Structure 1
Amino acid sequence: MSDHILIIEDDEHIARVIQLELEYEGFKTSVVHSGREGLALLKKEPVQLVILDVMIPELNGMEVLRRIRSMNEETIVIMLTARNSVYDKVSGLDLGANDYMTKPFEIEELLARIRTHLRFHPRKRDEPDDSISIRHLMIRSDAREVYVNGSIVDLTPREYDLLMYLAENKNRALERGQIVNQVWGYDYFGDTNVVDVYIRYLRKKLQPTDEEPFIQTVRGVGYMIKD
């Protein structure tokens, strides 16, 4: 089950950008634009992480944070603010925020912090391992991380999606058309040769030795991962 992230942000453009990036990463999201709306949703639905802007209408972010912490201590809260004062940061952390980011920020850094907090949260450590291991490769689907011989490998979102589809269907020969439909989507109108291009990218990143190819070509069909 995907982690549920609540975005409490009155700037609709910023909220939408964050939402789209999170959903692309596979998270379930909810967006509200005021403090009262955020608290109302938190009382109705389980939420693992809250992205909370300080300057929001009705109830400001500090008050929302105080009320979140009065309800539970488990929900991860990352504060966002346009201010850059030490006082605001200290106040947020003293009230129980797990992290703090100052606007403007890079979305990649926000995503990295979210993944880190979710990965090492006590709730996560009690959950069953959701990883896939094939030969020298391990995929942690909960964190969208890939390891080769124990070292993390940097993959683009598309490379990861392609690898995950192949891994979930290991020992099965997959046609290029199948792969395109599942990884690029049914509305993709490009050439299926795009699969060959991304397979080359993956092989370069995942094949540390000259042993039998990790991703094998099935002549006249497509590709498969053979375990």
Structure 2
Amino acid sequence: MKSLVVDDELVSRSKLKKIMEAFGPCDAVENGEEAVAAFINALDRGEPYTVILMDLMMPVMDGHEALRRIRDIEQERRIVPGEETRVIVVSCLEDQKNVCQAFFKGLASVYVTKPVNREVVDTALRSLTLE
């Protein structure tokens, strides 16, 4: 499983990257703009991400916008339904508006709140349909 961690906080990003490296190769970036670029580069190399862990509140481009752009790119490239990259939204925001926006507008796969540890990530990954 190839993954991408997107978080502007260095400590959080480093911790999530270390957790995800136990499952396979993992890249890490610090904002949504870099996430979209990494996503495109991975597709162009024929090595798409299986899972993206995305923070919502980031400078430059937030997680909501990055997720919308990633889903648009998947549609443009005609990624077969069910083969899209799974996105785990990782956020300190628990309010209903952000949860609904992540799921219904951004098509997030799972939403977890910080702080995140190995057990939380394991549970989130088990809830995904991965091949």
User: Is this a same-fold pair by TM over 0.5?
Assistant: yes
Separation of aligned partners in 2, 1:87 and 1:33? 24
Matching residue within 103, 110, 114 for 1:99 = 110
Q: Deviation per CA, 1:182-206: give whole Å up to 9, x if none.
A: xxxxxxxxxxxxxxxxxxxxxxxxx
> Do the aligned partners of residues 26 and 92 (structure 1) sit closer, same or farther apart at CA in structure 2, a change above 3 Å counting?
closer
Tell me the residue number matched to 2:63.
Answer: 61
- 1:70-85 counterparts in 2 under 5 A? 70-72=72-74, 74-85=84-95
- Extract unaligned runs of 5+ from structure 2: 43-47, 75-80
Tell me by how many angstroms 1:27 deviates: 1.4
Task: Name the TM-score, length of structure 2 as normaliser.
Answer: 0.83
Higher relative contact order (CA 8 A, sep 6+): 2
Which letter maps to 1:92?
A
Tell me by how many angstroms 1:105 deviates: 3.1
- Residue 67 of structure 1 aligns to a residue whose secondary structure is helix
Separation of aligned partners in 2, 1:10 and 1:87? 21
- Residue 54 of structure 1 aligns to a residue whose secondary structure is coil
- Residue 51 of structure 1 aligns to a residue whose secondary structure is strand
Q: Deviation per CA, 1:75-126: give whole Å up to 9, x if none.
A: 1011111111011101100020011011123331112312441xx23xx1xx
- 1:88-127 counterparts in 2 under 5 A? 88-95=98-105, 96-117=107-128, 120-121=129-130, 124=131
Number of residues of Structure 1 aligned to a counterpart in Structure 2: 117
- Extract unaligned runs of 5+ from structure 1: 125-227
- Residue 93 of structure 2 aligns to a residue whose secondary structure is coil
- The higher radius of gyration belongs to 1
RMSD of equivalent CA atoms = 1.3
Tell me the residue number matched to 2:7.
Answer: 9
Task: Name the TM-score, length of structure 1 as normaliser.
Answer: 0.49
